[in-house]
Chain A
Amino acid sequence: MTENIKKQNFAARYGWIFWAVIVLLFYVWSITGLKFSGLQESAGEVSKSIVNGLFHPEWGYFYDGSGEDLFSLIIQTLAIAFLGTFVSAILSVPFAFWAARGLEENKLHLRSSSGKFVLVFIRTFPELVLAIMFIKAVGPGSFAGVLAVSIHSIGMLGKLFGEAIENMDRGSEEAIQSAGGSKADMWLLATMPTIMPEFLSYTLYRFEIAVRSASILGMVGAGGIGTPLLFAIQTRNWPRVGIILLGIIVMVTMIDLISGSIRKKLV
């Protein structure tokens, strides 16, 4: 009986020790590499003030008609995200067709691979740096934020759109082709209608992310709620930090709920 049981070779038997040691070394390297500055003395006090600010927000800041209040800036943040996502959804379509691999193409196809690399590059390029570059071009303000969101979002939308194209059902394309349609007919009447619901769903998903990033782009001067938030934190105006945080939480939650319910209907 015993010879039926396959004897584990050395690697299979003790391999996990090797991996455990590697992981352990990685952690030791990380823990010793970081300088833990410890907490500054005011840490407890500051966190208490933040929590206190959250429970006693400065309600007067919610709306005062000056255009610099919470309500106007939240709307502005949403506008940045909305416009940025819309522009980027349009710009992403050519990138998606560039990066999508055809059925009979190899894994290392020149067009598709180069397109995928460009998308990785755009995705990795920090959005903050992009915002600062656009501030140089159009000056500080929410327009720079719109441009940053619309360029940065191409990286993710192009990837998701491209994958949608790769996985789409080709039946209707073939039908148009066999009925004698031209390439343009095929694209307009078969490809686009087939992938449109997926494109819309991904765009909405990206809009949810864009709302989050639009709310912090203001920290570098690209408009929206980020600017007064950073200012309030630096001047230690905790009641104002509290109301802004509440505003961001409510805004993000609402947008997630609305966009999520629309996405459920689409797919």
Chain B
Amino acid sequence: MSEGASSAPATAETTGHHEPAGFPPFKTETYPSQLFWLTISFVLLFIVVWRIALPRIGGALTARKGQIDGDLGAAEKHRREAADASAAYDAALAAAKARAHGLADENRKRLNAEVDAAKAKAEAEAQAGMQAAEARIAQTRNAARAHVAQAAQDAAAAIVQQLTGDNVSADEARAAVASVSGS
């Protein structure tokens, strides 16, 4: 315990080996060596900084700045191109839509017209068929009517002959039937 306390000053004195003691920074005999090596190292560092380090770091900085500026420019260019392409796409889409709309419209009109024409034709055909049928019916009716008159005429002539035994001419029979049927 006491050894440690007493040994500290002792070592300070023994290792201090003071040459006439003094403040080290003011020992002028060290100045030539200090200035000599200071000059060498400072000049060396100056040359390294001036010739190598600063151009190198400056070069790295400008290269990076150039690359970043270039990349930003390229990005801006691509962005503009993309915007242009998008606008062109929109325009093309709008044009295509308009054209499709036109085509659809035209188609619809054409189809409508065709349908209408077909309908009209079918109606006309039906009408014609109906008229023909009516004509035929009327004709058949007239024919039937004519047959009925003939049959009545023949029947009247036959009845008269049976009852009276007289021959009745066709004209008489026709006149008689006509007077009875009232036509």
The judgment on whether A and B are partners is: no
Q: Which residues of B contact A (CB under 8 A)?
A: none
